[in-house]
Structure 1
Amino acid sequence: MAFTRATGKHRRPSRTHRTTAHAAGVAALTTTGVVGTLAAPALAAEPAPEQTGLTPVVSVGEDVADQIDAQAAAQMEAARQKAADAARKKAAEEARQRAAEEAEKQREAEERAAREAERERLNTFVSPIPGSYVSTSYQAGGAAWSSGSHTGIDFHASSGTSVHAVGYGTVVEAGWGGAYGNQVVIKMVDGTYTQYGHLTSIGVSAGQAVTPGQQIGLSGATGNVTGAHLHFEARTSPEYGSDLDPVAYLRAHGVGI
């Protein structure tokens, strides 16, 4: 059985029908040339996008486009400036670190040089009687010494000859020393000890700091002696019996005798 759509006056045409008719009408008007007078009012009432289902094309004015371009350029410039600032900051920090490292190296080099200079200064030694010579050698044998041998060396010197500290140190004894007569014992900066015996007079006191070449007394013939001279010992302690070879000791510190 076939069905037909009623076309009575009480039934609205469908949307498809209306759209087709509208298109046909526009085409007819265009063909007849009437569009110039009648089409404009008819086309002014175009259906909304939601009625046609089409996506409208939005046209952007030149002013808005210029604003967008300017904003994009400003953002790019800000990003470039930020990157440049970060690069400058990094370079400045690296330069600061290099300068600090160089300064630290310089400080360490100066400290090493200062320590070396101080070691050299403290290692300055002289002869106890400049220009004299050894008249009795170390460990010479004989009945004159209670140990059976000489525990030091004797420097030739007449009574009253100036006797000098051989290096930097501190006086630990200054006075009568029995068989040594008037004596001075000095603790040197390297921890060793030096002794100066048979002095006719003493010019320093215990606790006094002395320097190389400083006069500490005058040679003489006090104590167990047969004549004026200077008895000199190098020791590992201030006590008798801890003697070292005095010639080797002085030569090790640069004193030629």
Structure 2
Amino acid sequence: MAFGSRPAGTGKHRGSSRLSKKTAGYAGIAAIATTGVVGSLAAPAFAADNHSSSAPENGLGAVVVAEDLAGDIEDQAEAQQRAAEHAAAKAQAEADAKQKAAEAKRLAEAKAKAEREAAERAAREEERKRLNTFVSPLDDSYVSTQYKAGGGMWSSGSHTGIDFHAASGTSVHAVGFGTVVEAGWGGAYGNNVVIKHNDGTYTQYGHMSSLNVSVGQQVTPGQQIGLSGSTGNSSGPHLHFEARTGSQYGSDIDPISYLRSHGVSL
């Protein structure tokens, strides 16, 4: 029997190796990571060896940290993507708003231009009508002697105008816009006025008792140019009215047709 020998089964139990402890520690960390519950095996393993505290940082703990970091980066990337999409949508909305505003401005300007042009056309038309407005030379009168009536009273053998019935002193009007080219004594016509109108025609007013206009004066439709009478070669108070293509005697045209062509009803 050998001295100093000790039975194999009766000796002290040897502690777990560091590798075993670390393995247990890793297993505990894995349990926490996967189940969220601290395993009964993990606590002794950490308590058995203080050196095992470095294992989470070097092993599965590093994996968890890396996963958390990756999650944070992913969240940050998603947040940046959402911010970029929001900024792009905002920029697009602003661009659309600017485009709509520009289009609205263009339409408003086009509408204003069209309205302005329409107003200008209307004003021109109104002015054209105004300049071509004609009236009768006497109010509430009638033609007492027709154009081209024959008789010895007229040197030409026929009437070169028409006579309007009028008592002495009746207001005589210019029939349209124009310029006075003659105002005064006219021989057989007595006191007379000749007016050149805007369309190039002329009208004459004879036998008046008095005149209210002078040569060069601008006149308007209905403006009083004198008073009726019986001056010159006249058998009684009336107004002799002529329409002419020129300012001189002999260029007469039918006065009734002339007035009617300018909208005057007789």
> TM-score scaled by structure 1?
0.70
Alignment match, 1:203: 212
- State the percentage of identical aligned residues: 65
Name which of structure 1's ranges 61-70 and 191-200 shifts more when overlaid on structure 2.
Answer: 61-70
Helix, strand or coil at the partner of 1:173: strand
Decide which structure has greater helix share.
2
Which structure 2 residue ranges, 5 or more long, are not aligned? 1-16, 24-65
Structure 2 residue corresponding to 1:127, chosen from 128, 136, 160:
136
Helix, strand or coil at the partner of 2:209: strand
Which structure 1 residue ranges, 5 or more long, are not aligned? 1-33, 41-57
1:226-245 correspondence runs (5 A): 226-245=235-254
Q: How far apart, in 2, do the equivalents of 1:72 and 1:218 lie?
A: 95
Q: How far apart, in 1, do the equivalents of 2:215 and 2:161 lie?
A: 22
Alignment match, 1:102: 111
Alignment match, 2:178: 169
Letter in 1 for 2:189: Y
Helix, strand or coil at the partner of 1:135: strand
Alignment match, 2:50: none
Letter in 1 for 2:122: A
Letter in 2 for 1:205: S
Alignment match, 1:181: 190
Name which of structure 1's ranges 217-226 and 244-253 shifts more when overlaid on structure 2.
Answer: 217-226
Alignment match, 2:30: none
**Is 1:251 equivalent to 2:257 in the alignment?**
no
1:194-241 deviations in whole A, cap 9, x for unaligned?
110122211111222222222211222323333332110112222222
Q: CA deviation at 1:133?
A: 1.9
Q: CA deviation at 1:35?
A: 11
Q: CA deviation at 1:75?
A: 1.7
> TM-score scaled by structure 2?
0.68
Structure 2 residue corresponding to 1:91, chosen from 100, 116, 123:
100
Name which of structure 1's ranges 82-91 and 239-248 shifts more when overlaid on structure 2.
Answer: 239-248
Helix, strand or coil at the partner of 2:249: coil
Alignment match, 2:86: 77
Helix, strand or coil at the partner of 1:197: strand
Helix, strand or coil at the partner of 1:61: helix
Alignment match, 2:155: 146
Letter in 2 for 1:256: S
Letter in 2 for 1:193: Y
Q: How far apart, in 2, do the equivalents of 1:186 and 1:155 lie?
A: 18
Q: CA deviation at 1:91?
A: 0.9
Alignment match, 1:217: 226
Q: How far apart, in 1, do the equivalents of 2:221 and 2:91 lie?
A: 67
1:130-153 deviations in whole A, cap 9, x for unaligned?
222212211223343333332211
RMSD: 2.9
- Length, aligned pairs only: 208
